[in-house]
């Protein structure tokens, strides 16, 4: 039996246990919920510069992807050119911030100095991969295909003699060795020029001297080797070359007679080319831009590329005189400046290149050659390069010759060389049309070309303007005003890409032609904003940066957020950087909205983060064509909104550029873009890369099960686009 005392103890113990349990329940009940994650937390953002480098890594990856051989070579040239631009603009900008003591960091929290350290680590790895790609893969494969790039030590004596004759005839007369001694200052090394750093010794005094020889850019980088004997017949596909700097290095005795050549090392410098333009103080923006372009060649050095066989003495000597640290010196055991490999891509070897294709002409324009009659009946959607850019040129040429056309207004950002669009505009002015053209002089690395075309347009009487102070005009728009029987009518062409016939063959872009009263009215008011003193802040249909685009984009995302799990967003753009937009997308994902982002280049959003971006997927497509179109789709519970245009989701585009997004209002056209463009890209497993939460990209092909065929969106569009009925 249990004694009364024992019972009392047991009851007291049970009561104590109940108290503990009740306290636990009470404590559990009052435990506050976890606070929502802070969407400003730096760990939620990928650094812009490192994301940019990851894009260049994807470009480099194409050198090993299944492309024809010369296309692989092309991608190595593009990678090299991209890295040049990255140093000229992005690295130089960070270095300036460090020098000025700026410590403000972007959304990811890295200071300028920390970014430079991370960039150096990544770039060193990328350059090593690029050099290995050339030496171990492309170089031997080119030889196997009959394209031999010989090293000088591999040449026969008679070949060297022939090259010496070529040197005497074609190279020697234009070379200018520049000495460095007390009577000769260290020579200026121009941006991206290829040079030889030559160390000589005077046999009489045993003194060493430095000289620099610039390899003239007018010379071919790859010197062709002809057969030794006229009767020697090489197989038709066999061609032999040698690097021009090696030809010069082997003949230095002609430049320094009587001197001993101690060393001759190729080197190359990259300078800061990001120009600061004080527009408010400029009396003439055209003249100011020309002066800035001249100064660009004298920007501070941000990178030295040097042959890895150069001695430590040579490395220190060049670094000291170029005023850079060891951190800025990159050595290579491959030829410097591999962007020169474009010379190989220009060879007539169709067997080693992508097959040619014929862009489509829209059915409506084949049936009626008067484009204005067609546009009165229907709007036209163009998807370049699958649709021919010739239709845009024809629109301008038709307008130039049409006696009923009264005026043409157009923006030009990058027009390239010998542009038919510019010729059509000049022809229109000669035919008495009122022609107004906004030429963006600040289009980076196209400034000189744009200045030249601006002068030519002015010389023919075209009214040329240069945009707004403090803003780049990046929108792509043409307005044509025409008198017809029932009054004045306005026609527009709007696009995501430039009025450039060259890029239209290699960039994917969307264009839209229409006879649309509200679009025409918005276009008229936009040009008044660009050319006059208009403070227009509302538009009927257009989203215009920096006026209403940011707020409208955020409202569209927030509308889908309110729909929760029924929400759907698809965005195709070049870059996603803007922190405010990223936070809005994070909130939409938290609400259950399904979001697909097709971002070719820089993406600072981290997908797949638990509780933050679980519902966001990001892919990047890098293939034969440069993905350049911008498409914004919001499902809106079956009443969708879709915009096309020139704007990426970056602070510079939204706040410091004039951009346009325009709506696609026809249901059939929206469905075509959704099903035959966006969905096709989302299916890609051959050229798509999947962004991970840590900022790395995984080729989607590696996730496909063995035996399952890969889907290439660009190839599909090449094969099927002519069958699609978008017009």
The angle that helices 579-590 and 549-563 make with each other, rounded to 10 degrees, is 10
Is the model's pLDDT at 25 over the cut of 60? Answer: no
Is the model's pLDDT at 468 over the cut of 80? Answer: no
pLDDT tens, residue by residue, 152-161: 888 999 999 9
Q: Which tokens belong to 126?
A: 């990328």
Q: How far apart are CA 307 and CA 375, in angstroms?
A: 59
Q: How confident is the model at residue 645 (pLDDT cuts 50, 70, 90)?
A: very high
- Is 599:573 a contact under the CB 8 Å cutoff? yes
Q: Determine the pLDDT at residue 418.
A: 74
- Tokens 């004596």, located at residue: 157
- Gap between the terminal Cα atoms of the chain: 97
Mean pLDDT check: name the lowest of 8-22, 337-351, 682-696. 8-22
Rounded to two decimals, the pTM is 0.90
Name which of 642, 674, 680, 679 is nearest 661 in CA terms.
Answer: 642
What mean pLDDT do residues 287-300 have? 59
Task: For residue 45, give the DSSP letter.
Answer: B
pLDDT tens, residue by residue, 432-442: 999 999 988 77
As a whole-number percent, the residues of the chain with pLDDT over 90 amount to 73
pLDDT tens, residue by residue, 75-94: 999 999 999 999 999 999 99
Instruction: Tell me the backbone φ, ψ of residue 626, rounded to 5 degrees.
Output: -80, 115
pLDDT tens, residue by residue, 610-639: 999 999 999 999 999 999 999 999 999 999
- Mean pLDDT of all residues in the chain? 89
493 a catalytic residue: no
**Domains, the chain, with CATH or none:** 48-279+289-352 (3.30.1840.10), 363-531 (3.30.870.10), 543-723 (3.30.870.10)
Task: Give the three-state DSSP class for 271.
Answer: strand
Q: How confident is the model at residue 546 (pLDDT cuts 50, 70, 90)?
A: very high
Q: Which tokens belong to 453?
A: 């075309």
Question: Residue 615: exposed, middle, or buried by beta-carbon count in 10 A (0-12, 13-18, 19+)?
Answer: buried
Name which of 394, 203, 191 is nearest 296 in CA terms.
Answer: 191
Name which of 365, 367, 372 is nearest 391 in CA terms.
Answer: 365
- Tokens 């096309």, located at residue: 644
As a whole-number percent, the residues of the chain with pLDDT over 70 amount to 89
Q: Determine the pLDDT at residue 510.
A: 97
The residues facing 509 across adjacent strands are 384
What mean pLDDT do residues 14-41 have? 59
Is the model's pLDDT at 280 over the cut of 50? Answer: no
- Tokens 């029932």, located at residue: 486
Q: Determine the pLDDT at residue 471.
A: 87
Q: How far apart are CA 165 and CA 251, in angstroms?
A: 10
- Sign of the C-alpha dihedral, residues 325, 273, 298, 307? positive
Name which of 59, 73, 77, 80 is nearest 140 in CA terms.
Answer: 73
Q: Determine the pLDDT at residue 452.
A: 82
Task: For residue 359, give the DSSP letter.
Answer: P
Choosing from 345, 474, 516, 721, the catalytic residue is: 474
What mean pLDDT do residues 267-280 have? 71
Is the model's pLDDT at 349 over the cut of 70? Answer: yes
């Amino acid at each position: 039996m249990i004694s009364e005392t024992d019972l009392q103890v047991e009851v007291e113990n049970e009561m104590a246990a109940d108290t503990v349990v009740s306290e636990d329940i009470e404590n559990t009940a009052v435990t506050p919920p976890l606070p929502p994650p802070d969407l400003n937390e730096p760990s939620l953002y990928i650094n812009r510069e490192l994301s940019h480098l990851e894009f260049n890594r994807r470009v480099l990856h194409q050198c090993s992807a299944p492309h024809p051989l010369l296309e692989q070579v092309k991608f190595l040239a593009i990678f090299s050119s991209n890295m040049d631009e990255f140093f000229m603009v992005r690295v130089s900008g960070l270095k300036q911030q460090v020098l000025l003591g700026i410590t403000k960091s972007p959304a990811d929290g890295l200071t300028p100095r920390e970014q430079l350290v991370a960039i150096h680590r990544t770039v060193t790895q990328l350059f090593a991969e690029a050099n290995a790609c050339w030496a171990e893969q492309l170089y031997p494969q080119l030889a196997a295909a009959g394209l031999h790039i010989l090293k000088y030590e591999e040449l026969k004596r008679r070949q060297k003699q022939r090259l010496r004759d070529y040197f005497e005839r074609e190279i020697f007369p234009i070379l200018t060795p520049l000495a460095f001694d007390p009577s000769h200052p260290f020579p200026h090394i121009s941006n991206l020029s290829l040079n030889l750093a030559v160390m000589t010794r005077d046999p009489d005094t045993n003194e060493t001297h430095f000289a620099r020889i610039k390899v003239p850019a007018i010379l071919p980088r790859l010197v062709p080797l002809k057969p030794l004997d006229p009767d020697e017949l090489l197989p038709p596909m066999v061609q032999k070359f040698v690097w021009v700097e090696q030809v010069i290095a082997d003949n230095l005795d002609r430049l320094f007679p009587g001197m001993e050549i101690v060393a001759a090392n190729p080197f190359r410098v990259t300078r800061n080319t990001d120009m600061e333009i004080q527009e408010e103080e400029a009396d003439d923006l055209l003249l100011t831009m020309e002066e800035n372009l001249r100064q660009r060649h004298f920007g501070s050095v941000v990178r030295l590329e040097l042959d890895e066989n150069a001695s430590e003495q040579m490395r220190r000597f060049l670094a000291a005189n170029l005023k850079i640290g060891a951190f800025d010196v990159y050595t290579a055991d491959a030829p410097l400046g591999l962007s020169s490999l474009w010379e190989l891509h220009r060879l007539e070897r169709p067997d080693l290149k992508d097959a040619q294709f014929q862009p489509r002409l829209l059915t409506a324009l084949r049936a009626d050659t008067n484009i204005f009659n067609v546009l009165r009946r229907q709007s036209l959607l163009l998807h370049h390069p699958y649709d021919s850019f010739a239709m845009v040129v024809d629109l301008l040429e038709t307008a130039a010759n049409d006696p009923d056309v009264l005026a043409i207004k157009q923006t030009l950002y990058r027009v390239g060389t010998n542009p038919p669009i510019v010729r059509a505009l000049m022809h229109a002015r000669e035919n008495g049309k009122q022609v107004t053209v906004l030429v963006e002089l600040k289009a980076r690395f196209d400034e000189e070309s744009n200045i030249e075309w601006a002068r030519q347009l002015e010389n023919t009487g075209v009214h040329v303007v240069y945009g707004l102070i403090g803003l780049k005009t990046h929108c792509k728009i043409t307005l044509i005003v025409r008198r017809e029987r029932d009054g004045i009518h306005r026609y527009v062409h709007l696009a995501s890409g430039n009025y450039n016939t060259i890029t239209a063959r290699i960039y994917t872009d969307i264009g839209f032609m229409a006879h649309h009263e509200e679009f025409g009215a918005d276009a008229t008011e936009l040009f008044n904003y660009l050319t006059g003193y208009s403070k227009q802040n509302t538009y009927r249909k257009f989203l215009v940066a920096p006026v209403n685009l940011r707020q409208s984009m955020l409202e569209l995302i927030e509308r889908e957020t309110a729909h929760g799990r029924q929400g759907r967003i698809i965005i195709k753009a070049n870059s996603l950087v803007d922190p405010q937009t990223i936070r809005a997308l994070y909130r939409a994902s938290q609400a259950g909205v399904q979001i697909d982002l097709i971002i070719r280049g820089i993406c600072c959003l981290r997908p797949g983060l638990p509780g933050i971006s679980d519902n966001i997927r990001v892919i990047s497509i890098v293939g034969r064509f440069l993905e350049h179109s911008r498409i914004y789709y919001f499902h809106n519970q079956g009443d969708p909104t879709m915009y096309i245009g020139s704007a990426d989701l970056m602070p510079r585009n939204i706040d410091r550029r004039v951009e346009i997004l325009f709506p696609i209002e026809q249901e059939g056209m929206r469905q075509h873009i959704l099903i035959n463009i966006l969905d096709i890209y989302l299916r890609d497993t051959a050229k798509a890369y999947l962004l991970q939460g840590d900022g790395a990209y995984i080729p989607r092909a590696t996730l496909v099960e063995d035996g399952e065929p890969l889907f290439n969106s660009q190839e599909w569009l090449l094969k099927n686009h002519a069958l699609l009925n978008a017009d």
